[in-house]
Structure 1
Amino acid sequence: MQVYLFMLGWVILFGILSQVTAKRVCVGQNLDGDMYESRANLFMALVTFAVIIFFAGARSNVADTSAYIKMFKDYPLFQNAHNIIFDSSAREPGFRLFSILIKTFISDNYTVWLSIIAVISGICVMIPLYKYSCNFGVSAFLFMASCQFTWMFNGMRQFLVAAIIFSCTGLILKNKPLLYILIVCVLATIHKSAFILIPMYFIAQGEPWNKRTLLFIGCIVLAMLFTSKFTSLLTDVVEQTDYAGSVNEFKDADDGTNPIRILVESIPVILAFIYRDKIKDKLTPIIKLSINMSLIASGLYIISKVASSGILLGRLPIYFSMYNLILLPWLLKNIFEKREKDLVYYIMIICYLIFFYYQLNVVAGKASYISEILKIKY
């Protein structure tokens, strides 16, 4: 726990400094004229995320890391890997190829391999926050305090895909579906769940609360009404996916996503809906997209709870919930007046710190950190 507290303190400190050194830039126009927001300095953004990347890359036996390390050690070198790379019965050949290339041409040390993945994941999360967040410091704090950072320590393969596609946000804003879909198809060779991003690309387009998003809400309601049939469908599907082993092992104990997690991840879209009339003239393209993505994330979380499928569906919202890191700071900035804004910020910080403690000490059972290279075991 000490390592995670150190990481949180680092992110808070340098997140504040990144906001102090931020520049104001024009992000669009409304009826009142030009709209300005703060954008962080790139160097400060990198420093803020450096601590997460460092400890993610240096870990040894944290959560599912030991299984990944064993897998990496068992991989042959590239010249002997033809059968493994092109094994039609094995899943996600892209990740195998990526790992074997690192082992062959860079290093066979698993720490180097984990560090490369941590750098890619961390930078790909940082870039959209640096480019689009009106308060990078708050966004970085939310990434830590909401415990989304733990994906870099547990479930790194899916998060690698989620982070890369998050960094491709500009393709959605510029309406380049073909390139976006091509990237998704490539990433699906790393984790097949990435295919969900293709239909969601079209749902997330356009104004918040449009017909497509309302149709998605309707699908959520139907899934809740026909839970048993929906769960049976999931059971049939999951047997053909990469989650099969995990689901079969833990299905008796799986009661879906934690309701507290659902509430925390749904707060931004709830605020956006309640204050939709107040913010409608201030919306920028990235905020419109973030509202729709947040709605998708909340919907998937709700369905995962209703279907008691935290292992399967409960992992899918990470592709969309990272947009909350952009959305929530913007909502706090644009909804509340100065006096109440300060109070809301204090309440937010306290609540997220409580959630941080709850996730790592209660849900995760006193999360530990182990690093052989750093000789750390907490």
Structure 2
Amino acid sequence: MSGYVYILVWIAACYLITNTVRPIHKERTCGAWEYRYDFKWALIIFLPIVVWCSLRTNFGDTEAYRKSFLELPGAFSSLFSYVPTIEKDKGFTALSIIIKSIIGNSDIFYFFIIAAIQGLCLVIVYRKYSCNYLMSIFLFIASTDYLSWMFNGMRQFLAAALLFTAIGLILSKRYTLAIIVTLLVSTIHGSALLMIPMIFIVQGKAWNKKTLLFILGVILAIVFVDQFTNILSEAIVDTQYDDLLTNGIWENDDGTSMFRVLVYAVPTLLSLVGRRIILKENNHVINLCTNMSILSTGLYIVSMFTSGIYIGRLPIYFSLYNYILLPWEIENIFTKKSADIMYLLTIAAYLLFYYLQMHMAWNLI
């Protein structure tokens, strides 16, 4: 079996171990007592992904990142002379130089450190806020996000993962600090600036007027797709994505596949079905996750009609919240018996998607 299958076997093994050892305890989260995984066990569950990520070869942007890292100066003293010569994402370059000054020219350790930071961000948030941590990690894997981002677009995902840990700032409405964090993270990947207006849109109850206006904007973007595409092509000039224009990628980009969009839209659709229950519970975390899910689905729909490479990369800032939302929906919208069936159906559906994506689309298994 390949590593792409072994990682799913590992998650299944963790499920069996968890049911046997029960490394779960009660702790206070958002003002309520909840059952949560022990932090060490939560780390162990995610560790194989980090290790595998550090050992990857020739997947996606890996070689480009490796070449870029090896060409960086290795002395900390060069930080202040080299970084100013970089036009975009100076924060990522600075971080890479700092890492290289510590570990030397080892690209394996470099990938390990970046993946460890990303993984730690996910572990912290999912362990604290998800009602089913292991299911959240399974969804992250079976959705192929771990490959699309940790093995491929690691610079943008580093920004997305760091902003994901700012969920507490958003929940507590500490806007100034949240914006400062976003501005700092945007030095790693400029697309992180998208989060600043979204911080305010996602506040409030699920499916509120602001999210409905966002949906209206999505509909208008689709109706006037030609004009919207022209605006996009102008917007990406002198950004991280301007190579899409110079290399002719933009013209050949046929958008995100409908199948992938449908998969990412499932939590949003379930939230619409269970809207009455979500509003009744008025759980601030779930309200936030629902609104984030709506933003994610909206952007994915737009990317289906415009650019999968540009617009299709933006929802990662919001789709990570889906893996908190979906387990909660299963456990709270449905009865206990129905929830067990829904868990099985969800696992089966995501495994099917994983197989189709890995075998049919990417030819990896």
- The two structures have a TM-score, normalised by structure 1, of 0.91
Following superposition, the deviation at residue 178 of structure 1 comes to 0.9
The amino acid that maps onto 2:342 is V
Gaps of 5+ in 1: 30-34, 368-378
Please give the per-residue CA displacement for 1:86-141, whole angstroms capped at 9, x wherever unaligned: 026x2111111111111123322111111110100001011110001001111111
Q: Deviations over 1:295-353 (max 9, x none)?
A: 0000000111122x001000000000000110000000001112222221111111100
Q: Which residue number in structure 1 is paired with residue 279 of structure 2?
A: 280
| d(CA) in 1 for partners of 2:324, 2:191 | 23
Structure with greater helix share of residues: 2
Q: Which residue of 58, 62, 73 maps to 2:59? A: 62
Q: Which segment is superposed worse, 75-84 or 114-123?
A: 75-84
**What is the distance in 2 between the residues matched to 1:164 and 1:338?**
35
Cα drift, residue 227 of structure 1? 0.6
Which one of 121, 125, 133 corresponds to residue 124 of structure 1?
A: 121
Could you say what secondary structure the match of 1:63 adopts? Answer: coil
1:236 maps to 234
Distance in 2 (alpha carbons) for counterparts of 1:278 and 1:200: 24
2:99 corresponds to which of 98, 102, 110: 102
Q: Specify the SS of the correspondent of 2:329.
A: helix
Aligned ranges 1:241-280 → 2 under 5 Å: 241-246=239-244, 248-280=247-279
Q: Distance in 1 between matches of 2:255 and 2:361?
A: 13
**Structural mapping, 1:361-372, within 5 Å:** 361-366=359-364
Distance 1:178 1:17, change over 3 A: farther
Q: Distance between the aligned counterparts of 2:153 and 2:57, measured in 1?
A: 14
Establish whether residue 149 from structure 1 lines up as the match of residue 155 from structure 2.
no
Question: For 2:46, which of 33, 36, 49 is the aligned residue?
Answer: 49
CA distance in 1, matches of 2:282, 2:14: 28
The one-letter amino acid of 2:118's match is S
| Greater RCO structure (CA 8 Å; 6+ sep) | 1
Kept after mapping to 1: 8 A contact 2:278/2:286: no
Moved more, 271-280 or 113-122: 271-280
Equivalent residue, structure 2, for 1:32: none
Q: CA RMSD in A?
A: 1.8
Shift of 1:62: 1.8
CA distance in 2, matches of 1:181, 1:344: 38
1:363 deviates by: 2.0
Aligned length: 360
What amino acid does structure 2 have at the position aligned with 1:111? Answer: I
Identity over aligned pairs, percent: 40
Distance change >3 Å, CA 26–CA 333, structure 1 → 2: farther
Within 1, Cα distance between the matches of 2:18 and 2:124?
14
Do the aligned partners of 1:57 and 1:118 also contact (CA within 8 Å) in 2?
A: yes
C-alpha separation between the residues in 2 aligned to 1:317 and 1:206? 20
Partners of 1:350 and 1:50 in 2: how far apart?
24
5 Å-filtered alignment, 1:208-223, equals: 208-223=206-221
Give the partner amino acid of 1:313: I
Query: Deviations 1:151-184 (Å, cap 9, x if unpaired)?
Result: 1000000000111111111111111111111111
Q: Aligned letter for 1:267? A: V
Q: Distance in 1 between matches of 2:101 and 2:27?
A: 45
Match of 1:14 in 2: 14
Residue 156 of structure 2 corresponds to 158
**Equivalent pair of 2:205/2:282 in contact (CA under 8 Å):** no
The one-letter amino acid paired with 2:258 is P
Give 1:282's aligned amino acid: E
Q: Report what 1:299 is aligned to.
A: 298
Q: Distance in 2 between matches of 1:285 and 1:167?
A: 16
Amino acid at match of 1:253: N
Give the corresponding residue for 1:135: 132
- What whole-Å deviation, never above 9, does each CA across 1:22-79 have from its counterpart, x for those lacking one? 23456579xxxxx764311211111110011111112232221111111111111333
Q: CA deviation at 1:246?
A: 3.8
Q: Counterpart of 2:55 in structure 1: which amino acid?
A: A
In the TM superposition, 1:143-222 aligns within 5 A as 143-150=140-147, 151-222=149-220
User: Alpha-carbon deviations, 1:271-297, whole Å to 9, x = none?
Assistant: 111111133222311111000000000
